[in-house]
């Protein structure tokens, strides 16, 4: 389940049937169970170490890694994984409001999409929800794209 929920509230109103359906879907998804969040935390930790290992291997083989998309969700990811300009050369973005600035916390320079240099070999797509669009938009650059994913089949010890 993903997307947006718009809520309207008023005094004395009843609950719309759609609200009951959403609550039922939340119960079915386990959102009221602590184990759901424990598993999610484990999956996130595994993903973090998978990403760090993968990016370190790329760098060890001489690859130049850039980021694509200076989105807020990507910045949260960068800071959680403790990725910075030592591993990610820069982040390309189309927004003139972001170009020339640094990512908060990780201090990675943000450049225009047009400034992606020929030495870049790999691109970490940070706004994963629009990864297909970004891959298509930048396909002409010959980059190897990497989109971080949670793999629920992984397990780690508690």
**Tell me: the pLDDT tens digits for 55-80?**
999 999 999 999 999 999 999 999 99
Rounded to two decimals, what is the model's pTM? 0.80
Q: Could you tell me the CA-to-CA distances from 103 to 26, 84, 85 in Å, in that order?
A: 34, 9, 10
Using a pLDDT cut of 70, give the percent of the chain over it.
93
Are the C-beta atoms of 48 and 81 separated by less than 8 Å? yes
Domain ranges across the chain: 34-146
Strand-pair partners of 65: 122
Q: Would you place residue 4 in the very low, low, confident or very high pLDDT band (cuts 50, 70, 90)?
A: confident
CA neighbor of 99 nearest in space, from 121, 76, 135, 70: 70
Q: Would you place residue 39 in the very low, low, confident or very high pLDDT band (cuts 50, 70, 90)?
A: very high
* pLDDT tens-digit series, residues 84-93: 999 999 999 9
What letters, b where the CB count within 10 A reaches 16 and e where it falls short, cover 95-132?
eeebbeeebeebebbbbebeebeeebbbbbbbbbeebe
Q: Would you place residue 156 in the very low, low, confident or very high pLDDT band (cuts 50, 70, 90)?
A: very low
Mean pLDDT confidence for 129-151:
93
Query: How many Cα atoms sit within 13 Å of 110 on the Cβ side?
Result: 20
Interacting residues of 96 by C-beta distance below 8 A, sequence separation 6+: 112
CATH 3.30.565.10 fits 34-146, yes or no: no
At residue 93, what are phi and psi to the nearest 5 degrees? -150, 155
Question: Which of the 8 DSSP states describes residue 46?
Answer: H
């Amino acid at each position: 389940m993903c997307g947006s929920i718009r809520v309207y509230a008023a005094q004395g109103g009843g609950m719309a049937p759609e609200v009951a359906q959403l609550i039922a879907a939340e119960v079915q998804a386990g959102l009221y169970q602590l184990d759901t969040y424990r598993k999610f935390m484990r999956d996130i930790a595994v993903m973090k170490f998978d990403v760090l290992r993968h990016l370190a291997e790329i760098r060890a083989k001489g690859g130049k890694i850039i980021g694509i998309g200076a989105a807020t969700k990507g910045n949260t990811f960068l800071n959680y994984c403790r990725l910075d300009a030592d591993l990610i050369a820069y982040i390309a973005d189309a927004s003139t409001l972001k170009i020339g600035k640094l990512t908060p916390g990780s201090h990675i320079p943000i450049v225009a999409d047009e400034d992606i240099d020929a030495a870049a070999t790999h691109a970490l797509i940070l706004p994963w929800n629009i990864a297909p669009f970004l891959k298509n938009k930048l396909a002409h650059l010959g980059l190897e794209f990497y989109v971080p994913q949670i793999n629920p089949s992984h397990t780690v010890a508690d």
